[in-house]
Amino acid sequence: MGMAELVRERFAASIAVKEEASRSLAIEIAQAVAEIVCCFRDGGKVLIAGNGGSAADAQHIAAEFVGRFKMERTALPAIALSTNTSILTAIGNDYEYDMVFSRQVEALVEPGDVFIGISTSGNAESVIRAVEAARAKGAFAIGMTGRQGGRLAQCVDIALRVPSDDTPRIQETHITIAHIICELVESEMFAHAEV
């Protein structure tokens, strides 16, 4: 198989996962949008955490809310918990790595906030502990994971389980879902804003 054919094959695999996700997750994504809109309208914030590529996705999502997605509008309060290296290294050193997000949740989450945990396997201990801590403080929890869902899918209010076991395809679909969420949150909250 030539290189160009491999490229086409990877595109086709990514498209197939996204098409299946559109069929299987539309209701859950719409519910997640409704919860986030309610949170923002009530003066709450969204906190997002993940490791590795999922940390990059957390930062991406927070940037879309705080900056803008497509509309000129006021900033929306969102925090990616993977960005402060002093906090991450202090907690990892003084406690243990599995507490790097839950300790921040303890400091930052308030009742009515939304917490989004991202883990392709659904078994990232640091993310699971953060979800548990967030729910204990009265936050609504959304999990973004893969087909099996892992422990993450069992401890959130809404599990967005991408129908794939292939990490790159899961991550590609996670950011597509995140973009859809950001767009729909904007359109619900700022229907009369400039595009």
- Cα 128 from Cα 187, distance rounded (Å): 31
Report pLDDT digits (tens) over 89-104.
999 999 999 999 999 9
Query: Is residue 86 situated within a structural domain?
Result: yes
Q: Residue 71 has what DSSP assignment?
A: S
List alpha helices for the chain, DSSP H: 3-24, 26-41, 53-66, 85-94, 102-108, 125-136, 150-155, 167-189
In a domain, 23, yes or no: yes
With respect to residue 20, please indicate whether it lies within any of the assigned structural domains.
Answer: yes
Contact assessment for residue 163 and residue 148, using Cβ atoms and an 8 Å cutoff: no
pLDDT band at 192 (very low <50, low <70, confident <90, very high): confident
What are the residues whose beta carbons fall under 8 Å from the beta carbon of 27, sequence distance 6 or more?
A: none
pLDDT of 151 over the 90 cut? yes
Segment 112-118 shows an average pLDDT of 98
How many residues can be counted in the chain?
Answer: 195
Say what the pLDDT of residue 193 is: 63
Tell me if residue 160 falls in helix, strand or coil.
strand
Q: How many distinct structural domains can be found in the chain?
A: 1
Under 8 Å between Cβ of 178 and 53: no
Domain-embedded: residue 194: no
Beta bridge partners of 80: 48
In a domain, 43, yes or no: yes
Range of the domain at 115: 3-189
Q: pLDDT digits over 3-32, tens only?
A: 999 999 999 999 999 999 999 999 999 999
Q: Could you report the per-residue pLDDT of 116-136, keeping only the tens digit for each? A: 999 999 999 999 999 999 999
Does residue 195 lie in a domain region? no
| Average pLDDT value for residue range 180-185 | 98
- pLDDT above 90 covers a percentage of the chain that reads 97
Full-model pTM: 0.96
Residue 125 burial (CB count, 10 A):
16
* DSSP string for residues in 177-190: HHHHHHHHHHHHH-
Answer whether residue 194 shows pLDDT above 80.
no
Question: Band of the pLDDT at 107, cuts 50, 70, 90?
Answer: very high
- First-last CA distance in the chain: 44
Q: Does residue 57 carry a pLDDT above 60?
A: yes
| pLDDT (mean) for 68-77 | 95
pLDDT band at 191 (very low <50, low <70, confident <90, very high): confident
Q: Is the pLDDT of residue 115 over 80?
A: yes
Instruction: Measure the CA–CA gap between 21 and 171, rounded to whole angstroms.
Output: 12
Average pLDDT, the chain: 97
70 phi and psi angles, rounded to 5 deg: -125, -20
CATH, residue 60: 3.40.50.10490
| Percentage of the chain modeled with pLDDT above 70 | 98
**Residue 37 resides in a domain:** yes
